[in-house]
Structure 1
Amino acid sequence: MSAVTYHDTRTETREDYGREHQARPAPAIQAHPSWREHDHFELWVEWQQRDSAGRWHPHQAVTHRTFRTREDTLLHAERLIGRGDFPMEGGSPAPVTLLRNRRAALLSAFREAEGDGVTLIREVRFPVGEYALSLRVTCERLASPVRATFSSAANPLRSLAGQRVKLTVLIEHPYDVLVRAEGPLDLGERAARVGTEAQTFAPGASVTGVPYRSATVTVPRGLLKKPLLYRYELAAEAAEREGAPSRP
């Protein structure tokens, strides 16, 4: 039986598991109560494979779930371990089901695992042959999605005012991109400007988004036409999602 190893991630990046916890920038406009952030707990499970130098690398994701409480996350993880079914696609010659004694060893390792207690709750890497199962429970503070009109104080776009954002203007389907721009968001009573791109929106225009992260303004174009979407998101987060560094 392979020995159980514990993996300290405080010296590694977390790009395979989610964003680093960071304090949100203060909005240029007074925050609305609906923008309040709450803890979101996530369970990440994946297969990893060791390279010729002995380093572990992600091989294939198994599951990623988000929960409202720490207790629900840990309970779901233990139930997943109890079933012992960790599928691997593509016909790879790797284990997909753990026998009972291996499930017990993995459960014990998971219960004993520790993180930093803030953004990383628990993490364990469990060798299984030439592969290893990686289980991680993380915590991140996020605001819940908000839907409001453009003139509303709850408009989530207001939380991005003064921040550097990426603007993408596109048609809802088939997602034809019409405009891209990046720069500080200058927000007025009915207008939004990013660089040289300025838009004026009706007070009743629908806005949906996650405060401090992204917001999309929907502009109808008539009964038989798909609406225009004006998507604003923090430039740093957009670059992270696309795997490219943001501009200074």
Structure 2
Amino acid sequence: MWADWLERDSGGHWKPHQSVLQRSFRTREDTLLHAERFISRGDFPMSGGSATPVTLLRNRRDALLAAFREAEGDGVTLIREVIFPVGEYALSLKVTRERLADPIRATFGSAANPLRSLAGQPVKLTVLIEHPYDVLERASGHLDLGDRAAQVGAHTQEFAPGTPVTGVPYRHATVSVPRGLLKKPLLYRYEVVEPGPEDTQAPTGP
């Protein structure tokens, strides 16, 4: 499910302005149900100094919900899509069907280690204990990966070659370090940081 603010370009066509929400659900029915609940709340934040309302009045929420229910996709990957004008902007709500890649399980020293695909990429690292997910440390920066260590910013962690790693290449990987009997493992979760809109714009001259 995707929700985005749009704005018009110089040619009068809608173009992406700011992302509001991106969520994934297991089934089509769950996705549509959560999309309708999201619309019914009527809160669509926009950061910055824009005067665009972020909370729609009830009649506008009802109109958006009706338009979403009547919307159609392409019958393949696009289930529903609606563009709903709000002042000088518009809300884009889209539900798609995508096949999620299966996670790969390997060891840190293996050539199949999914963490290898993240090397050199900007990532965020979360160090936590599995259930109840106590977060111990966070770091961000480009991933520098060695034969037995991974470094993100000032955080460097060594791993034995046989340490298990689970993840989806080019998206995320989690290294699971055992802590002994009757203790949940220590998790090192590395996730690729997607560039924001300001990072993808071409540089302009003086």
Pick the TM interval, shorter chain: 0.5 to 0.7
- Who is 2:98 aligned against? 140
Change (3 A) 1:87 1:110: same
Measured in 1, the distance between the counterparts of 2:5 and 2:59 equals: 19
Alignment of 1:13-92 (within 5 A): 43-92=1-50
Does residue 108 in structure 1 map to residue 63 in structure 2? no
Does residue 129 in structure 1 map to residue 87 in structure 2? yes
1:86 Cα deviation (Å)? 1.2
Give the counterpart of 1:94 among 41, 52, 55: 52
Q: Which amino acid is the alignment partner of residue 129 of structure 1?
A: G
Does residue 206 in structure 1 map to residue 203 in structure 2? no
- Who is 1:157 aligned against? 112
CA contact (8 A) 1:207 1:215 kept: no
Measured in 2, the distance between the counterparts of 1:156 and 1:120 equals: 36
Question: Mean Cα displacement is larger for which, 63-72 or 91-100?
Answer: 91-100
Change (3 A) 1:70 1:61: same
Task: Calculate the aligned-residue CA RMSD, in Å.
Answer: 4.1
1:178 Cα deviation (Å)? 4.5
Q: Secondary structure at the match of 2:44?
A: coil
Aligned residues: 159
Q: Which amino acid is the alignment partner of residue 48 of structure 1?
A: L
CA contact (8 A) 1:123 1:134 kept: yes
- Greater than 4 Å deviation, 4+ residue runs: 172-180, 212-218
- Who is 1:119 aligned against? 77
1:118 Cα deviation (Å)? 2.1
Measured in 2, the distance between the counterparts of 1:128 and 1:169 equals: 37
CA contact (8 A) 1:156 1:209 kept: no
Change (3 A) 1:174 1:62: closer
Question: Mean Cα displacement is larger for which, 52-61 or 118-127?
Answer: 52-61
Q: Note the residue ranges of structure 1 that are not aligned, 5 or more in a row.
A: 1-42, 160-164, 181-200, 221-228, 244-248
Q: Secondary structure at the match of 1:94?
A: coil
Measured in 1, the distance between the counterparts of 2:67 and 2:86 equals: 13
TM-score, normalised via structure 2 length? 0.59
Measured in 1, the distance between the counterparts of 2:54 and 2:37 equals: 16
1:61 Cα deviation (Å)? 1.4
1:120 Cα deviation (Å)? 1.1
